A and B are shown apart, each in its own frame.
Chain A
Amino acid sequence: MSGQVLIEVQGLRKVFQDAENRVIALNDINLKVYEGEIYGIVGMSGAGKSTLIRCINRLDFPNEGQILYRGQDILTMDRQTLLQTRRKMGMIFQQFNLFMQRSIAENVRYPLEIAGVPRKQADNRVLELLEIVGLTDKAAAYPAQLSGGQRQRVGIARALASKPDVLLCDEATSALDPMTTQSILDLLQDINRRLGITILLITHEMAVIRQICHRVAILDGGKVVEEGSVDEVFLNTKSEAGKRLFGVLPEQSEEDPGVPSLRIVFDGAAAEKPVISTLSQETGVFVNILSANMNHLQGKMYGQMIIQKPGTEQENEAVISYLEKQGLTVREVNKP
């Protein structure tokens, strides 16, 4: 992910205005997306993230600012250059937006058709793409016959058809159940690794960020309130919006447990099971829970728990390694 800057957003501002209301959807947004990385933008609904990603390929037009794609401003480029640039940016959507009257193969072939790729060549490419997303057997089916997860796979294959440099994902997993979400996230990660395609995604789910993103920006009220590598932002959440998204109550995160302790963060990624009981069984260490604040969302655990640090360094390491194996993040607080 140590590439060049692929997309740079500078001073982006978007105001929606009608007779009575004036809503500032985006307020002075600055971001850099590097080649090869998975960059996540997370925020509650209404934070402006959809508007932001739609501005990137000029489906929406901001009031102020610049969007540089390989140094070229998307907002000022002429129409022909814009169309060519859009072909370098695939996009997938929450509602998939497949062509309902086209078969799966025809959906995937659409970007090749409009680019004037010869029929034979296009058909071969379609097969290749259906293989990548694991839907070769559905080539002749129609979108209405597929499940949500399969439809999103078609959306991904279609977005990859024109060999884009970047994939824009607009809440791509928000309409899917947790298991399907997982398989789509795995696919996106695979595409990023194997094909080297940069991914810019927006989501309201912290678990999505945590699982596949390298860097994250937290959007709140039309502003970027926090940005950095996922681990960094996750472990040192500074903004109120970030704490809300992690399911951490503000007053609690500031609380000083008074004794050396461990902070365990549940971000929805861990399997749902009684972690603390099994921890004691597996490691033989009995832990003392100092405080906990957990939220149950769609069958996943969000929040944090503070436990007293076990007596010996050995026990401590056993506890930390066990918890991390469960997909949880652990950080020592109040080191002696």
Chain B
Amino acid sequence: MSWDQLMPLILEGLWDTLYMTIPSTLLSYLIGMPLGLLLVVTGKGGIRPKPVFQSALSVTINFLRSIPFIILLVLLFPVTRAVMGRAIGTQAIIFPLVISAFPYVARMVENAVREVDHGVIEAALSMGSTDWQVIRKVMIPEALPSLLNGAAICMVTILGYTAMASAAGGGGLGALAITKGLNMRKYEIMYSASLTLVALVQFMTLFGNQISKRLDHRIKN
């Protein structure tokens, strides 16, 4: 297969992959971020401890996280159809991706925010901050470098999930490598799609780390 034939396939796959990954990541954060903050705020030593609520939330998140994506994808078919209009295809798969990723995001956010020195939060409280002010003006900004690193990891994880999109008729580089590459024995397609995926993951990780470092004022410069 010539380069001219290969290129459009790869570009289309890349576009589909990003089309699934980026909105899924954003929507996962929309749900996962408040949950992650809630886990910290209501946790032991948090600013509003609610042990029973926190355990219930924690158990639910663990439960959702433990379902493998490929199974969740199938289980969710009826719900996906109801929400997205159809159960299969590149666009429809965003829904199961979000459902699968938001518990992961919640844990990521929880870990990042927990890293914030408790003394700093106490200082904010001693100055008469409301809970909301502590969350918005202290917890999130102080955890920002860590949150950005976490976001890069989440995005890469979601990118990994999209490779399974072919199972639900979705497109993207993963589907390209399997359906047109592996199944049709056109190995040049399989390898170039896979290499593009690898490059994409490297780029996201590096980019995430760079921004995180740039914004971290704990580093002397």
Contacts and interface: CB of A to CB of B under 8 A. Distances in A.
Interface of A: 57, 59, 82-87, 89-91, 93, 95, 97-103, 110-111, 113-115, 142-145, 158-159, 162, 168
Nearest to A115: B128
A89 B126 contact: yes
Interface stretch (B99-107, B130-138, B173-181, B182-190): B130-138
B122 A59 contact: yes
B220 A91 contact: no
Given A93-B123, A144-B218, A144-B220, A101 B128 contact: no
A110 B217 CA distance: 17
A306 B119 CA distance: 45
Contact of A91 (B123, B216, B219): B123
Closest 10 CB pairs of A and B: A86-B128, A97-B123, A87-B128, A91-B126, A97-B119, A142-B217, A83-B128, A111-B127, A100-B218, A114-B133
Nearest to B127: A111
A114 B127 contact: yes
19 contacts: A82-B128, A87-B128, A90-B127, A91-B127, A93-B123, A95-B119, A97-B122, A99-B123, A99-B138, A100-B218, A101-B141, A101-B215, A102-B217, A114-B133, A142-B218, A144-B218, A144-B219, A145-B220, A162-B127
A97 B137 CA distance: 15
A85 B124 CA distance: 14
B117 A97 contact: yes
Contacts of A98: 120, 123
Contact of A162 (B124, B128, B145, B217): B128
**Number of chain B interface residues as a range:** 20 to 34
Contacts of B144: 101
Interface in B128-160: 128-130, 133, 137-138, 141-142, 144-145
Given A113-B137, A142-B217, A144-B219, A99 B126 contact: no
Interface in B207-221: 215-220
B143 to A, nearest CB: 9
Contact of A86 (B117, B119, B126): B126
Contacts of B219: 144
Contacts of A99: 120, 123-124, 138, 141-142
A143 B219 CA distance: 10
Chain A contact surface mostly: mixed
B125 interface: yes
Contacts of A102: 141, 217
A83 B216 CA distance: 30
B49 to A, nearest CB: 12
A97 B144 CA distance: 17
B127 A87 contact: yes
A68 B122 CA distance: 21
A258 to B, nearest CB: 53
B217 A101 contact: yes
Nearest to B145: A101
B214 to A, nearest CB: 12
B217 to A, nearest CB: 4
B150 to A, nearest CB: 16
A86 B130 CA distance: 11
Given A83-B129, A97-B117, A99-B138, 12 more contacts: A84-B128, A87-B128, A91-B126, A97-B120, A99-B123, A100-B217, A101-B216, A110-B127, A111-B128, A114-B129, A114-B133, A159-B127
Contacts of B142: 99-101
Given A95-B119, A100-B120, A101-B144, A59 B129 contact: no
Contacts of A145: 220
Contacts of B133: 114
A302 B139 CA distance: 43
Contacts of B123: 91, 93, 97-99, 158
Contacts of A111: 127-128
B130 to A, nearest CB: 7
Contacts of A82: 128
Contacts of A158: 123, 127
Contacts of A59: 122, 125-126
Contacts of B216: 101
A111 B134 CA distance: 12
A92 to B, nearest CB: 9
Contacts of B218: 100-101, 142, 144
A93 B128 contact: no
Q: Which of A57, A97, A113 is most buried by chain B, counting CB atoms within 10 A of its CB?
A: A97
Contacts of B119: 93, 95, 97
Contacts of A159: 127
Nearest to A141: B217
Which of A93, A99, A115, A168 has most B Cβ within 10 Å?
Answer: A99
A87 B124 CA distance: 11
